[in-house]
Amino acid sequence: MSRLIERVLIPTDDSDGALSGARRGIALASQIGADVHVLSVVEVGHRPPEYDDELLSSLEARADEAVETVARMVRDHDEAIDVTTAVRRGTPFQSIREYANRREIDIVVMGTKGRTGVDRILLGSVTENVLRTARTPVLAVPPNADAPAIDDVAFDRVLLPTDGSDGAEIAAEWGIALAARLESTVHALSALDTSPFSAVGDTDEVPEALEARAEAAVESVRKRADDADVDASGSIETGPPTDVILASATDHDVDLIVMGTHGRTGIGQWFLGSATENVVRQADVPVFCVPVSAESP
Contact criterion met (CB below 8 Å) for 38 and 85: yes
Pairing state between β 83-90 and 35-43: parallel
Q: For residues 128 and 179, state if they share a domain.
A: no
Reported confidence tier of residue 112, pLDDT bands at 50, 70, 90: confident
CATH of the domain at 227: 3.40.50.620
Q: For residues 60 and 91, state if they share a domain.
A: yes
Mapped onto helix, strand or coil, the DSSP state of residue 56 is helix
User: In the prediction, which pLDDT does 2 show?
Assistant: 43
Residue 115 has pLDDT above 60, yes or no: no
Distance CA 284, CA 155 (A): 14
Counting the structural domains of the chain, the total is 2
Residue 254 has pLDDT above 90, yes or no: yes
User: How far out from the chain centre does Cα 264 lie?
Assistant: 19
Contact criterion met (CB below 8 Å) for 63 and 177: no
Is residue 296, in this structure, part of any structural domain at all?
A: no
Q: For residues 110 and 221, state if they share a domain.
A: no
Is residue 257, in this structure, part of any structural domain at all?
A: yes
Q: For residues 282 and 210, state if they share a domain.
A: yes
Q: For residues 215 and 231, state if they share a domain.
A: yes
Is residue 250, in this structure, part of any structural domain at all?
A: yes
What CA–CA distances, in Å, run from 270 to 102, 280, 289? 35, 17, 17
Which pTM does this prediction carry?
0.88
Reported confidence tier of residue 118, pLDDT bands at 50, 70, 90: very low
Q: For residues 105 and 211, state if they share a domain.
A: no
Q: For residues 193 and 105, state if they share a domain.
A: no
The range of the structural domain enclosing residue 270 comes to 154-290
Domain end position, chosen among 146, 178, 203: 146
pLDDT digits (tens, 9 = 90+) for 44-61: 765 555 557 777 888 899
What is the DSSP code (8-state) at residue 235?
Answer: E
Is residue 285, in this structure, part of any structural domain at all?
A: yes
Is residue 113, in this structure, part of any structural domain at all?
A: yes
Q: For residues 164 and 263, state if they share a domain.
A: yes
User: In the prediction, which pLDDT does 180 show?
Assistant: 96
Is residue 255, in this structure, part of any structural domain at all?
A: yes
| Residue of 145, 87, 144, 98 whose CA lies nearest to 121 | 87
| Residue of 105, 87, 99 whose CA lies nearest to 7 | 105
Q: For residues 160 and 266, state if they share a domain.
A: yes
- Strand residues in 106-203 grouped as ranges (E): 107-111, 138-141, 157-161, 185-192
Is residue 102, in this structure, part of any structural domain at all?
A: yes
Pairing state between β 138-141 and 287-290: antiparallel
Q: For residues 66 and 173, state if they share a domain.
A: no
Q: For residues 218 and 169, state if they share a domain.
A: yes
Reported confidence tier of residue 165, pLDDT bands at 50, 70, 90: confident
Q: For residues 165 and 244, state if they share a domain.
A: yes
pLDDT digits (tens, 9 = 90+) for 189-239: 999 887 665 555 554 555 777 889 999 999 999 999 999 999 999 999 988
